[in-house]
Amino acid sequence: MKLIFLGPQGSGKGTQAKIIASKFGLEHISTGDLLRNSEGELKKEVEEYMNSGKLVPDELMIRILNEKLSSLGDKGFILDGFPRNLAQAKELDKITKIDKIIEIDISNEEAVDRIVNRLSCSQCGTVFNLKTNPPKSEDFCDFCNSPLIKRTDDNEEAIKKRLEIYHSETKELTSHYPTIKINGEQPIEKVSEEIIKILSE
* Interface residue list for ligand AMP (CB under 6 A): 9, 31-32, 35, 49-50, 53-56, 61, 81-82, 84, 88, 153, 162
**Distance in angstroms (rounded) separating the CA atoms of residues 155 and 80:** 21
Instruction: Please say if 190 is a catalytic residue.
Output: no
Instruction: Please say if 63 is a catalytic residue.
Output: no
Find the helix packing angle between 13-24 and 188-200, rounded to 10°: 50
Whether the Cβ atoms of residue 69 and residue 77 lie closer than 8 Å to each other: yes
Instruction: Please say if 161 is a catalytic residue.
Output: no
CB of 51 to ligand AMP, least distance (A): 8
Whether the Cβ atoms of residue 169 and residue 137 lie closer than 8 Å to each other: no
Between 18 and 84, whose beta carbon lies closer to ligand AMP? 84
CB of 25 to ligand AMP, least distance (A): 23
CB of 197 to ligand AMP, least distance (A): 25
Residue 26, phi-psi category: left (phi > 0), alpha (psi -120 to 50), beta (remainder): beta
Instruction: Please say if 36 is a catalytic residue.
Output: no
Between 100 and 166, whose beta carbon lies closer to ligand AMP? 166
CB of 70 to ligand AMP, least distance (A): 17
Whether the Cβ atoms of residue 153 and residue 168 lie closer than 8 Å to each other: no
Question: Which among 2, 18, 114, 162 is annotated as catalytic?
Answer: 162
* Helix residue spans in the chain (DSSP H): 13-24, 31-36, 40-51, 58-70, 86-95, 108-116, 156-165, 173-176, 188-200
Contacts of 186 (CB under 8 A, 6+ apart): 194
Question: Which among 13, 18, 36, 190 is annotated as catalytic?
Answer: 13
CB of 158 to ligand AMP, least distance (A): 7
Question: Which among 18, 84, 100, 114 is annotated as catalytic?
Answer: 84
Between 32 and 76, whose beta carbon lies closer to ligand AMP? 32
Instruction: Please say if 160 is a catalytic residue.
Output: no
Between 28 and 162, whose beta carbon lies closer to ligand AMP? 162
Question: What residues act catalytically?
Answer: 13, 84, 118, 151, 162
